[in-house]
């Protein structure tokens, strides 16, 4: 029942394949001559060669900068700075990666980023599922108002509070420390909304009611009924939050320094160095992107459907 | 309330200890009922509390406090010393050429990056909506830039737009055009920075559109094609209206992103030039100005003033958008 990866609406193309009712005309009977319709409905068109070509170009443009990052990271500084630019990988990929890891502080940055993104993603998923469950299935006074408040907070860019936040962190003694980056992003309004949308559809009211009749209290219902149902959406939310936390730039750049950076912060230092070693810079950029790329290769389908399912009612 | 007798098995994790001795059956039942009521009434608030507590502490409070700081003179080295200056920071900002320059740059880069981005996303979503082979590949491929951090993306594009050996100038040269000084000249720099933004976000927006397109009922297309609408007409009269709320949503998201633009121009400027947005501030955005005031000029009060100006800009954009929406619905 709820074992499919995400809400059913992402599957719509599959079910429109065959046996559609002809048209919303009189009687809704099958009209034998419907094949004579000049055109079929938009989404049922098969892609023509032009669509493949255009999408091919899109895919190429999407991937090429990363491919070229790899090419530049695998040559050396002199080759990168020549024209025409190199288009094929050179022999130095692993030595450059190793140099970036040691010399450019990328090693420490990667570990820091794993900690930061991991903690943020875990806590976002936990709190978003708790709140999403409450908003989707529990009745309480002020529910709608609070939900509107959650949605309203999405519109406020966190960057605007950066000055007081910086003061707060230096008062707490967290300047240049990872907690300064972790704490402000422990929750996410988008996450709460995402889990609410998912649970309103995927979690039948009867299941919650049955738990109540069995005498389970709310936390127990959450633990043994909601969590199993929510798991696929939680996995997707985890990955999306991880990506965002890994790539978050402004606040970490403000509050961290080069002795204790996250990946994006370390990357700015690479580019600002006095001795500019282009292939080293590119090796750093590649290193900082690899974990997310690996995640996209393995879980691409889930991430795509997660972003799409979060979108419709957004 | 019927469940109060069966509350005990689950009671191990319930708040408050259950009386083990001395209680009669009715007392226990009454306590169970009370706990149950407390659970029903209180648990929802407990579940949503973490979100609101953390949001209040680390987002809402700083936002409000920003306005207070902006009325003070505060230096980075002595954060606890505040000197009340009322609206001096705002008056100075109003008279500061760099502010108007940064505001103009933020708006122009915002337009150059958002308009093509959303139009291309619409086209890509339309293509992805066909039935085809390898559709998953194309979808994941369109998301690859989204997985790339601002840092990595900006570094690559900085190199691609490099004046002497960059790929773009090489390509221009090979078709006989003069090389462009991308970093130094105003509009080329803004176009290059917008390219980074477009590259990172087009695929993401395309997937949002695609999701909305798939939710359009098929019979609308059938009705349109019965009326003899061409594919293009179907796209304009069925698809675009069908995903209008998502289009508005992406416009809102991109607008917020555009007003906050920071990482791309910072890294594009490669170091010292980054914070000032080029030697002549030719691509300094409000985000960069905020950082420059606070962390380069050590004037936190003025930085807060810039932040507040950014917030007002955002509100202004939404008000204008609302007005346009209302006007349009009145005319139609």
Domain that holds residue A236: 100-311
CATH of the domain at A278: 1.10.3720.10
Q: Which residue of B has its CA nearest to A21?
A: B219
B81 is a domain residue? no
A280 close to A77: Cβ distance less than 8 angstroms = yes
Tell me: the pLDDT tens digits for B17-65?
Answer: 444 455 567 888 888 888 888 888 889 999 999 999 999 999 889 988 9
Q: Hey, are the CB atoms on A65 and B158 less than 8 Å from each other?
A: no
Looking at the fold, whether B156 and B240 belong to one and the same domain comes out as yes
Chain centroid to CA B235: how far?
Answer: 28
Q: Hey, are the CB atoms on B199 and A65 less than 8 Å from each other?
A: yes
B269 is a domain residue? yes
pLDDT at B271: 66
Tell me: the pLDDT tens digits for A242-277?
Answer: 999 999 999 999 999 888 999 999 888 877 765 578
Q: Hey, are the CB atoms on B6 and A214 less than 8 Å from each other?
A: yes
Q: Which residues of B touch A243 (CB under 8 A)?
A: 146-147
Q: Which residue of A has its CA nearest to B146?
A: A243
Looking at the fold, whether B126 and B31 belong to one and the same domain comes out as no
10-residue mean pLDDT profile of chain A (314 residues): values are 34 36 39 39 69 94 94 85 81 88 84 96 96 93 92 83 92 91 92 91 90 88 93 92 92 91 88 74 91 91 84 41
A38 is a domain residue? no
pTM of the model: 0.85
Number of domains composing chain A: 1
Q: How far apart are CA A240 and CA A234, in angstroms?
A: 10
How distant, in Å, are the alpha carbons of A41, A307, B135, B139, B213 from that of B129?
11, 16, 9, 10, 7
Tell me: the pLDDT tens digits for B195-235?
Answer: 999 999 999 999 999 999 988 888 888 888 888 888 888 88
Pairing, β B78-84 against β B72-75: antiparallel
pLDDT at B12: 39
Whether omega for the bond prior to residue A84 falls within 30 degrees of 0, making it cis, is: yes
Q: How far apart are CA B264 and CA B280, in angstroms?
A: 17
Number of domains composing chain B: 2
Q: Hey, are the CB atoms on B51 and A155 less than 8 Å from each other?
A: no
Dihedral angle of Cα A209, A213, A215, A220, to the nearest 10 degrees: -20
A3: β partners: none
pLDDT at B46: 93
CATH of the domain at B128: 1.10.3720.10
B73: β partners: B83
B75 is a domain residue? no
State the count of interchain CB pairs (< 8 A) between A and B: 388
pLDDT at A310: 65
Q: How far apart are CA B261 and CA B102, in angstroms?
A: 11
Q: Is residue B193 scored above 50 in pLDDT?
A: yes
Q: Hey, are the CB atoms on A166 and B155 less than 8 Å from each other?
A: no
**Partner-chain residue, chosen from A42, A85, A293, that has the shortest CB–CB distance to B239:** A42
B155 is a domain residue? yes
pLDDT at B23: 53
A243 close to A296: Cβ distance less than 8 angstroms = no
Q: If you average pLDDT over residues B88-117, what whole number do you get?
A: 94
Give B74: exposed, middle or buried? Use CB within 10 Å, 0-12, 13-18, 19+: buried
**Partner-chain residue, chosen from A131, A296, A309, that has the shortest CB–CB distance to B48:** A131
B37 is a domain residue? yes
pLDDT at B37: 83
Q: If you average pLDDT over residues B119-138, what whole number do you get?
A: 92
Q: Of B9, B31, B51, B74, which to mutate for an interface test with A (greatest number of A Cβ within 10 Å)?
A: B51
**Partner-chain residue, chosen from B131, B270, B308, that has the shortest CB–CB distance to A13:** B131
pLDDT at A37: 38
What are the φ/ψ torsions at residue B82 (nearest 5 degrees)? Answer: -115, 135
Number of H helices, E strands in chain B: 17, 2
Q: How far apart are CA A57 and CA A166, in angstroms?
A: 44
Q: If you average pLDDT over residues B76-91, what whole number do you get?
A: 86
pLDDT at B218: 86
Count Cα atoms within 13 angstroms, Cβ side, for B93.
24
Domain that holds residue B271: 93-331
Looking at the fold, whether B154 and B268 belong to one and the same domain comes out as yes
Q: Hey, are the CB atoms on B141 and A304 less than 8 Å from each other?
A: no
**Partner-chain residue, chosen from A83, A286, A293, that has the shortest CB–CB distance to B165:** A83
Q: Of A151, A193, A217, A265, which to mutate for an interface test with B (greatest number of B Cβ within 10 Å)?
A: A217
């Amino acid at each position: 029942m709820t074992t499919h990866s995400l809400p059913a609406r992402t599957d719509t193309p599959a079910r429109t394949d065959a046996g559609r009712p002809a048209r919303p005309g009189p009687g809704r009977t099958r009209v034998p001559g419907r094949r004579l319709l000049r055109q079929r409905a938009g989404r049922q068109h098969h892609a023509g060669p032009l669509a493949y070509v255009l999408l091919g170009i899109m895919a190429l443009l999407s991937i090429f900068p990363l491919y070229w990052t790899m090419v530049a990271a695998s040559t050396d500084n002199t080759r990168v700075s020549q024209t025409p630019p190199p288009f094929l990988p050179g022999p130095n990929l692993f030595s450059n990666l190793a140099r970036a890891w040691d010399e450019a502080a990328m090693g420490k940055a990667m570990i820091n980023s794993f900690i930061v993104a991991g903690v943020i993603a875990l806590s976002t998923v936990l709190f978003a599922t708790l709140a999403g469950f409450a908003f989707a299935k529990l009745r309480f006074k002020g529910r709608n108002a609070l939900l509107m408040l959650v949605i309203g907070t999405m519109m406020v860019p966190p960057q605007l509070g950066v000055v007081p936040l910086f003061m707060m962190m230096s008062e707490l003694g967290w300047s240049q420390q990872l907690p300064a980056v972790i704490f402000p992003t422990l929750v996410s309004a988008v996450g709460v909304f995402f889990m609410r949308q998912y649970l309103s559809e995927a979690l039948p009211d009867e299941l919650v009611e049955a738990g109540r009749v069995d005498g389970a209290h709310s936390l127990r219902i959450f633990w043994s009924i909601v969590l199993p149902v929510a798991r696929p959406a939680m996995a997707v939310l985890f990955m999306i939050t991880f990506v965002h936390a890994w790539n978050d730039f402004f606040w970490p750049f403000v509050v961290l320094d080069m002795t204790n950076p996250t990946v994006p912060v370390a990357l700015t230092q690479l580019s600002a160095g006095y001795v500019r070693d282009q292939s080293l810079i590119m090796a750093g950029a590649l290193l900082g992107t690899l974990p997310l790329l690996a995640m996209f290769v393995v879980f691409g389908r889930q991430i795509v459907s997660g972003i799409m399912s979060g979108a419709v009612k957004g | 309330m019927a469940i109060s007798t069966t509350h005990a098995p689950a009671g191990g994790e319930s708040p408050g200890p259950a009386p083990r001795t001395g209680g009669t059956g009715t007392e226990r039942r009454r306590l169970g009922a009370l706990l149950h009521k407390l659970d029903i009434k209180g648990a929802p608030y407990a579940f949503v509390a973490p979100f609101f507590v953390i949001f209040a502490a680390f987002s809402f409070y700083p936002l409000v406090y920003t306005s207070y700081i902006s009325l003070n003179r505060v230096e980075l080295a002595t954060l606890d010393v505040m000197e009340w200056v009322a609206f001096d920071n705002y008056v100075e900002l109003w008279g500061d050429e760099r502010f108007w320059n940064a505001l103009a740059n933020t708006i122009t880069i915002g337009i150059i990056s958002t308009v093509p981005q959303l139009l291309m996303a619409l086209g890509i979503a339309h293509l992805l909506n066909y039935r085809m082979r390898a559709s998953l590949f194309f979808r994941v491929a369109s998301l690859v830039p989204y997985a790339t951090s601002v840092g990595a993306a900006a570094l690559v594009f900085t190199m691609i737009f490099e004046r002497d050996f960059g790929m773009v100038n090489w390509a221009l040269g090979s078709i006989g055009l003069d090389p462009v000084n991308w970093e130094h000249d105003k509009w080329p720099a803004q176009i290059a920075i917008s390219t980074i933004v477009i590259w990172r976000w087009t695929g993401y927006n395309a997937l949002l559109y695609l999701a909305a397109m798939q939710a359009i009922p098929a019979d609308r297309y059938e009705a349109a094609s019965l009326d003899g609408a061409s594919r293009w007409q179907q796209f304009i009269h069925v698809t675009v209206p069908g995903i209008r709320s998502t289009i508005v949503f992406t416009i809102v998201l991109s607008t917020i992103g555009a007003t906050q633009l920071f990482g791309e121009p910072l890294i594009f400027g490669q170091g010292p030039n980054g914070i000032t947005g080029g030697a002549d501030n030719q691509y300094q955005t409000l985000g960069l100005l905020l950082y420059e005031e606070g962390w380069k000029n050590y004037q936190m009060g003025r930085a807060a003033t810039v932040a507040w100006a950014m917030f007002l800009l955002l509100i202004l954009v939404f008000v204008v958008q609302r007005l346009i929406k209302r006007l349009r619905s009145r005319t139609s």
